[in-house]
Copies of this chain bind each other. A is one copy, B any other.
Amino acid sequence: MTTTTDRPAQIAEDATAPTRLQPHGAVAERSAASIDADPQALRAIMDGRWGWVRDELRATLPAEYCHPIDHLTTDEQRALTSERLVELAKHGGHLTSFATDVGGTADVGASTVHFESLGLADLSLTIKAGVQFGLFAGSIQALGTADHHHKYLPGAMDVSLPGCFAMTESGHGSDVASLGTTATYDAGTGELVVHTPTEKDRKDYIGNAAKDARLAVVFAQLITGGPGEEPENQGVHAILVPLRGEDGKDLPGVTTSDDGRKAGLNGVDNGRIVFDHVRVPRENLLDKYGQVAADGSYSSSLASRNARFFTTLGALVKGRVCIGGGALAATRQAMAIALTYAESRTQFPRAGADGEVTLLDYRTHQRRLLPLLARTIGLGFAQDDLTAELHAVQQTVLEGGTADPEASRALEHHAAGMKAVATWHATAAIQAAREACGGNGYLSENRLPQLKADTDVFTTFEGDNTVLLQLVAKGLLTGYRDSFKGLDTLGRAKKITTTVLDTLAVRTEARALAQRLAEVNPWGEDESVTLLDRTWQLRALAWREARVLDSLVARMRTLARTEKGFEVTNEVQDHMVLAARVHAERLIAESFASAIDAQPHGPERELLSRVMDLHVLSGLEEDRAWFLERGWISPKRSKALVATVNDLCAQLRPQTQTLVAGFGIPREWWGAAITA
């Protein structure tokens, strides 16, 4: 029932509620409206560590790649996207994804930012590139060994070998462990027999499968056994299976078909694949984490089937990081269009004055767009931190080393949470941008329809968001169990708070702040502190996370006394999703705070600090029922929260063009007639 514009009541209607910001030292006394930040300096901050990648793309990507293509037929869009992919490969930005021994330039962070930045342009191309270089070639890089790398990666990198990543099936998307496709080893011929047992086991939604892919990385249950052993299911493995010949026709035993028209991303040819006992040599198994000997014996350095499964999937985490980044890039573009239009468009005479009112002067319009802008900026910093974390874990691997298992696990959870939050944000923000541009937002020439349609599936692919958040919650519960064994309720509460604060200290490098937090009674609340106090803001987020997780555990324990299995987790499923979400929100705020702390004092830092206020407070405002229910804020303070958000919107309203400039989107890329 909630859309971005049909939101629950947010009205500070009580005359007793403060309607202006309370003073908070020199910074808060100064209205954000008067800060004179330099757009270029702001851009440099928002570009982050891999700014050179963004600059390179700004300099080389043809502007026409950013113009809508949704007036073209499906076939035309596909042909154009295929062409552009080859062009893109010539520019070489994707080479950062690959090890140097196959001609790559091996920079994980750079390759992630390259993908992200493509999201400002043609999203069909972005996804097609993601399929070819990221999923297809990336899984050969991550799950294969030297022979696979040398044999296949050069062709994958220059697109002379178009490929696909055949994981999802019609009957199994989120539940990869239950995939139905089988790969049975035949020791007699030394071949793996790849087969689709039933209709629901057919591969589905596979990018590149309808038309272009000649080779597929197929995820299947590997069934094999050594001499004299009963063949056994060794779990899901990846196997290279040729799909089409040079003539583009399906090879014997392979039947591809077309998923047809989609809501968006019609430049990508998604399709279905059915295998009828297709035989491939044993060497086609991507065998980094599990090997089949000629006699059928299975071996792996990883102890359990479960460990192999999670290691295999963990190696593919980059895809999720990239999707969140691409979603944010598209969101930046949509925000830039809607905010710029809102500066130029007027409607209705101004009461008591000449002329008409500019859209962005309306409070409802500010309310619709500015919190979303603030959040887009905050998520950008969080995405940068996630990219750095990905780089720290995977760069070693790309250079021939081994990933740290604990760091890998932490990364997976961060990536899952961030992907869910960033893609839902994209869906909501692009929708709001469309509506805020009225009829103009519905015309293809203004690009918003394409941005909306193309990004809509981001909440689904690379992991359904609701499922991903449950994965995050399970990680939190495991961490909780490990840390708090034997503690009573109060002990647990204290421990969680301390842990959260420790993490905070490490991540923000603002130890003094954390120290101050720790000194405050974590269950108490001092309402004399202004809402603009960063300590108060971060404490609210940390306390919420701790409290939600603790009560989740308590509920699960109570339920486990009378219910079992599915009933227990299902009864608290929404609570689990909440735990994951508030965890992600804390991390985002910390990234934002940390990015601000890293800047020297000056107008850019000051402006970003006000933007962070709006981001955090509008988030707390949305969730204020939860805080009220638990007595963390008083009704009076809750109303003050609403009033403060209104005030921050008004203060930041004159800064929107500076902030949009911070996104650094070349003007010729905007592709919207209304802002041309």
Chain B residue with Cβ nearest A636: B629
> What mask results when residues 362 to 391 of chain A are scored 1 for a CB within 8 Å of chain B, else 0?
111001100110010000000000000000
9-residue interface stretch from A158-166, A184-192, A430-438, A492-500: A430-438
A294 within 8 A of partner (CB): no
A532 to B221, CA, bound (A): 50
Instruction: Judge if A81 is at the interface, Cβ distance under 8 Å.
Output: no
Whether B70 lies near A71 (C-beta < 8 A) is: no
**B-chain residues with CB within 8 Å of residue A479 when the two chains form the complex:** none
Distance in Å: Cβ of A518 to nearest Cβ of chain B: 25
User: Which one of B3, B171, B582, B628 contacts A628 once the chains associate, using CB atoms below 8 Å?
Assistant: B628
Q: Which residues on B sit within 8 Å (CB–CB) of A168?
A: 439
B-contacting 9-mer, from A6-14, A29-37, A409-417, A598-606: A6-14
Residue A256 at the chain B interface, CB threshold 8 Å: no
The reply to whether B11 and A449 form a contact with Cβ atoms under 8 Å apart is: no
Partner of A5, one of B11, B259, B466: B466
Nearest CB of chain B from residue A356's CB, rounded to whole Å: 8
A1-B425, A424-B5 as given contacts; A460 in contact with B439, CB under 8 Å: yes
Are A638 and B625 in touch, CB under 8 angstroms?
Answer: yes
Q: Is A5 touching B459 in the complex (CB atoms < 8 A)?
A: yes
Q: Mark A436-460, 1 if CB is under 8 A from B, else 0.
A: 0011011111001100110011011
Which of A102-110, A234-242, A334-342, A558-566 contacts the other chain?
Answer: A558-566
Least CB distance, A40 to chain B, in whole angstroms: 28
Which of A204, A364, A619 is most buried by chain B, counting CB atoms within 10 A of its CB? A364
Can you list, as one digit per residue, whether each of A84-103 has a CB less than 8 Å from chain B (1) or not (0)?
Answer: 00000000000000000000
Counting chain B CB atoms within 10 Å of each CB, the highest count among A434, A445, A623, A628 belongs to A628
CB-based contact A71/B74 at 8 Å: yes
Interface assignment of A361: CB less than 8 Å from any CB of chain B: yes
- Chain B residues in 8 Å Cβ range of A3: 2-4, 424, 427-428, 431
User: With contacts A1-B619, A263-B452, A361-B570 known, is A9 near B442, CB below 8 A?
Assistant: no
With A71-B260, A428-B2 already in contact, the answer to whether A570 and B363 are too (CB < 8 A) is yes
Contact between A566 and B357 (Cβ–Cβ < 8 Å)? yes
Within 8 Å of chain B (Cβ to Cβ): is A646?
yes
- Is A4 in contact with B1, judged by CB distance below 8 angstroms? yes
In the complex, what residues of B have CB within 8 A of residue A425's CB?
A: 1, 6
Give complex CA distance A574, B8 in Å. Answer: 11
Give the chain B neighbours of A461 by CB distance below 8 A: 439
Residue of B nearest to A425 (CB): B1
A676 contacts the other chain (CB 8 A): no
CB neighbours of A675 from chain B (8 A)? none
Given contacts A9-B623, A630-B635, 15 further A-B contacts (CB under 8 A): A2-B3, A2-B428, A3-B3, A3-B4, A3-B431, A6-B421, A8-B623, A9-B582, A71-B74, A205-B439, A262-B444, A262-B449, A351-B566, A352-B564, A431-B431
User: CB within 8 Å of B: which residues of A?
Assistant: 1-11, 13-15, 68, 70-71, 73-74, 168, 171-175, 178, 204-205, 259-264, 346-353, 356-357, 361-364, 367-368, 371-372, 375, 421, 424-425, 427-429, 431, 434-435, 438-439, 441-445, 448-449, 452-453, 456-457, 459-461, 464-466, 548, 551-552, 554-555, 558, 564-566, 569-571, 573-575, 577-578, 581-582, 618-619, 622-626, 628-631, 635, 638-639, 646
| A–B pairs, 10, beta carbons within 8 Å | A1-B618, A5-B424, A8-B625, A13-B555, A260-B443, A262-B443, A263-B444, A263-B449, A352-B564, A628-B629
The 6 closest A-B pairs by CB, nearest first: A352-B565, A263-B449, A351-B565, A261-B444, A625-B625, A13-B551
